[in-house]
Structure 1
Amino acid sequence: MTKQLGVFENAKEAIEAARIAQLELMKNHTIDDREAYIANIKKVFMMHIEELAQHELDETGYGRYEDKIIKDTGAIMLAGGTETLPNRIYSTNQGLTVEFPAPFGVIGGVTPVTNPVATVAGNGIAIVASGNSIVFNAHPSAKACTANAVNLINEAITEVGGPCNLITMIKDPSMESLNDIMASPVIKVLVGTGGPAMVATLMKSGKKVIAAGAGNPPSIIDETADVAKAAVGIFGSASFDNGLLCVAEKELFVLDSVYDKFMAEILKQGAKLLTRAEADMVTAVAISQLPNGEYAANKKMVGQHASKILKEAGVAVDGDPKICVFEAQNDDLFVQTEQMMPILPVVRCESFEQAKEWAVAAEHENKHSATIWSKNIDNVTAFGKMIDTTIFVQNGGTLAAFGVGGSGSNGPTIATPTGEGICDAGTFTRRRRFAMADGGNYIL
């Protein structure tokens, strides 16, 4: 088997290769060069997008092929380049001062099993744009498709004259290789996507951490909403890639006055309605109680087709519904637990105040994502202030914040616990200040 570019036997080799590549990038290559590398990365990835999606699906068993093509395309083509690098200038008669966004050097990265290709491609572009290199410790259950993505990035960069190994990874990633990355003095910053355990592990390193943690995004539909439009938007967003996206709506809070109309509209889109008894059967197989008494999604059900989950639960199903909905109580496990499945609980609310209170509680202060379907600016403002999430969307699915049906750039890492938000090239830079003193270069 031909050796893949950027893929190394151990962390030491991967880190050293990334260190040499980053020094070469900063010494002999310009910002215009970086843009040329990014353009070719996008070109090469789009040439292989179908095989990348199929490989990811085959290896991980999560999601839907057609949705992965869309997801990975967005992460690649909407990724920001050097234009996202911040510049600050201070100019007075005392002189001219410029702050430059400088690279940290070598970054250590942890990728999730849910979105491996999108994470490597999107973060890879940001890393190249910012002048860094990165060593990925991939999720072991997605190491092969991750290696393919790493190889493609290096092929694309070297094809147009750039240094190889700006993006590297360990061939067989493990906790031992992650510990080696965290302990290395060469690694200056860590970036990771995953659950609370991953975030806690990276925090113990003592290094700067950019962490994307858990979410449980709620959505409110109030009495002023365009209910038909909301049904279309939520169906597309919540069912996408079998609910794998951490930003996607995981529970709905619908005012009683529009509840029945909304449910009728989402069923028109192809959603399957579960009875209360069927919802309980699904909950029993989809959500597990942990030894500490808390609840979490059953990993065997995460990202699976609704039909597979229903069959596992003993619920009769015809065809392949993209999502199932059911009338839920506020304290249902599917409402209060991040589950990443195409099962959507819908809570009937007596008032907007009740919907707002319950939605905020269900988000569990993850400060991740939320949406509201409303034409009432007061309701939108009140919910936005109270929910305090990193991503907040009115009258659209959460992907609107990433340039899909709205304005914005794409970024696969949404750093909620550490506060950076949707990551781009500027996220991976430090500020360097150069001052021309004593009135220098001030020409007014």
Structure 2
Amino acid sequence: MSVARLKVPERSSERQEPTPSNPGEQDPVDAVMARARAAQRTFAHADQETADAAVRALAWSLYNPKHARELAELAVEDTGLGNVADKIVKKQRKTFGTLRDLLRAPSVGVIERDEARGLVKYAKPMGVIGAVTPSTNPGATPVNKAMMALKGRNAIVIAPSPLGYRTTARIVDLMRQELAAIGLAEDLVQILPAPVTKEATEALMKSCDLIVVTGSQDNVRRAYSSGTPAIGVGAGNVPVIIDETADLDAAAARIRDSKIFDNSTSCSSENAVVIVDAVYDAAIAALERAGAYRCTPGERQRVIERLWVKGKLNRDLIARNPDVLAQAFDLPAQAQGRSFFLVEETGIGKGYPLSGEKLALVLTVYRASDFADAKERVRAILEHQGKGHSCGLHTTDMDRARTLAEDLEVVRVLVNFAHTFGNGGGFNSGLGFTLSMGCGSWQKNSISENLSYRHMINITHLVTPIPEDKPTEQELFGPHWKRIGYEAESAGQTEAAR
């Protein structure tokens, strides 16, 4: 079935009701899954060259400059989130980086040998991957997950956010065209027919072999309760520290570049900056030189009242251009032309909305007495929201970075990075490129690393005999026996009897 012929919903953030089916007509999810399974059976025994060709084809469907621009424009038109220029960069950068990572890795046949342990590992496909994707990245995330899925010789079915359906349907169509152009089955990549409902998404979750969810925590919980193996990722709320050893202008430039990218749609965008007292005023000045506007106490109150409506983020203000926010917050003329907005805060928790994720060009600023206090502020922010995700530090003291990594319950600690460009993989970051970042058990996620194709393959272990590796009882229990006064002679009798 051609994606181009699917009914496309009008832009709406409301739940869409399913179209009644005719009596005797096959359930739409069942029909999609049947095609996906048939296509995957033809692909399951592909060699590495073919799997990599499929990955290249999917990457080109989005990296192609014409397509990247078309889909960026469509995404902004449909969702109203972010901006076209940055979405083009995101689509091409993430796709290029993911392609680099995937082409460097084996995913067919023997993928690892450990002669010393007598182990050989073989990669096998899982089958059909179900992917739930968000409105913030309706073009990039589907391609990112599809590349990983087909790297493992799986098929994939995408359940997109209704708000971004038209964009996702278009990129799915382009991916299918690229697969067909190299002689592979189009149905290796499919999208749920519109309108996408919770019921249809749950049906997909129950019928696929693995479900990977990026987006609302409601969908993550539904995936975990579906009975299907699931990988969900957590919410972000990134806090970063600027300490007294940092290069303030460099730190401010990195924070700006990350914060303003695609109007803060990324879960890796900085939401709070914690500045030590010794350089507080100088750091604020550096942020202002980098393009920030510092809100007055009165303006701060308007930001809170208008960015949140009845306790929820105002959809009309998230991921919007700075001029839209300046007008909405009734900021003065000197705020015009600024690229993001600083709002100072002291409190953390439910009664302090500025301490949470904002998905907007608003950066909360905290003053800390010293680095130890700053670390505790970061801990409190993450306990409130975003625990497990990530945090950052701008410093020249690597001992402080190691302290954060040792003491905080986060998967990633980034040092001297524009956080958005390092957290989900970067060409100057050792983290793998992805648009889905696991937050570990701290956010009830099943992975504590960046999502990769390795999460979408099964592994068979070939095991052969090796020289016996059996220590003595003394070697293993000796320290404990010494503590409790156990007699070595008795120990020897125990081992002899064994």
- The one-character-per-residue Cα deviations of 1:269-314 (angstroms, maximum 9, x if unpaired) are 2222211111110111112444xxxxx4233322112322332233
Alignment partner of 1:233 is 2:257 = no
Matches of 1:258 and 1:438 in 2, distance apart?
60
Residue matched to 2:442:
none
Match of 1:30 among 38, 47, 68: 47
Contact 2:251 2:416 in 1 (8 A): yes
Q: 1:133 to 1:320 in 2, by over 3 A?
A: farther
Contact 1:182 1:190 in 2 (8 A): yes
Residue matched to 1:97:
119
- The one-character-per-residue Cα deviations of 1:114-150 (angstroms, maximum 9, x if unpaired) are 1111101111111111111111111000000001111
Alignment partner of 1:88 is 2:112 = yes
Contact 1:5 1:154 in 2 (8 A): no
Query: Where in structure 1 are there 5+ consecutive unaligned residues?
Result: 291-295, 440-444
Question: TM-score, normalised to structure 2's length?
Answer: 0.81
Q: Give the root-mean-square deviation of aligned CA atoms.
A: 2.2
Aligned residues: 428
Contact 2:129 2:210 in 1 (8 A): yes
Contact 1:190 1:207 in 2 (8 A): yes
Matches of 1:131 and 1:437 in 2, distance apart?
31
- The one-character-per-residue Cα deviations of 1:179-223 (angstroms, maximum 9, x if unpaired) are 211232xx1111101232221111110221110121111100111
The alignment partner of 1:121 has SS state of helix
Of 209-218 and 405-414, more deviation after overlay is shown by 405-414
Q: 1:229 to 1:133 in 2, by over 3 A?
A: same
Residue matched to 1:198:
219
Superposition deviation, residue 327 in structure 1: 2.3
Residue matched to 2:3:
4
The alignment partner of 2:342 has SS state of strand
The alignment partner of 2:120 has SS state of strand
Q: 1:75 to 1:10 in 2, by over 3 A?
A: farther
1:248-287 aligned at under 5 Å gives the runs 248-287=269-308
Q: 1:18 to 1:275 in 2, by over 3 A?
A: same
Q: 1:302 to 1:10 in 2, by over 3 A?
A: farther
Superposition deviation, residue 99 in structure 1: 1.3
Aligned residue identity for 1:190: I
Alignment partner of 1:136 is 2:153 = no
Rg bigger for which structure?
A: 2
Superposition deviation, residue 348 in structure 1: 1.1
Alignment partner of 1:181 is 2:219 = no
The alignment partner of 2:122 has SS state of strand
Q: Which has the higher contact order (CA 8 A, sep 6+)?
A: 1
Residue matched to 1:293:
none
Q: 1:280 to 1:120 in 2, by over 3 A?
A: same
- The one-character-per-residue Cα deviations of 1:385-429 (angstroms, maximum 9, x if unpaired) are 222322221011222241154344310111222224211111111
Task: Give the % identical residues.
Answer: 23
The alignment partner of 2:273 has SS state of strand
Aligned residue identity for 1:428: M
Match of 1:301 among 300, 317, 330: 317
Matches of 1:7 and 1:16 in 2, distance apart?
17
Q: 1:438 to 1:378 in 2, by over 3 A?
A: closer
Residue matched to 2:20:
none
Q: 1:247 to 1:259 in 2, by over 3 A?
A: same
Residue matched to 2:457:
429
Query: Where in structure 2 are there 5+ consecutive unaligned residues?
Result: 8-26, 440-444, 468-498
Superposition deviation, residue 438 in structure 1: 9.0
Matches of 2:153 and 2:247 in 1, distance apart?
45
Superposition deviation, residue 336 in structure 1: 2.1
Q: 1:171 to 1:241 in 2, by over 3 A?
A: same
Residue matched to 1:313:
329
Residue matched to 1:350:
369
Matches of 2:221 and 2:431 in 1, distance apart?
30
Residue matched to 2:184:
162
Matches of 2:396 and 2:123 in 1, distance apart?
40
Aligned residue identity for 2:34: E
The alignment partner of 2:220 has SS state of helix
Aligned residue identity for 2:432: S
- The one-character-per-residue Cα deviations of 1:225-278 (angstroms, maximum 9, x if unpaired) are 111100000000011111110011110000111111111111112222211111
Residue matched to 1:63:
82
The alignment partner of 1:134 has SS state of strand
Alignment partner of 1:13 is 2:47 = no
Superposition deviation, residue 376 in structure 1: 1.2
Contact 1:147 1:171 in 2 (8 A): no
Matches of 1:43 and 1:104 in 2, distance apart?
24
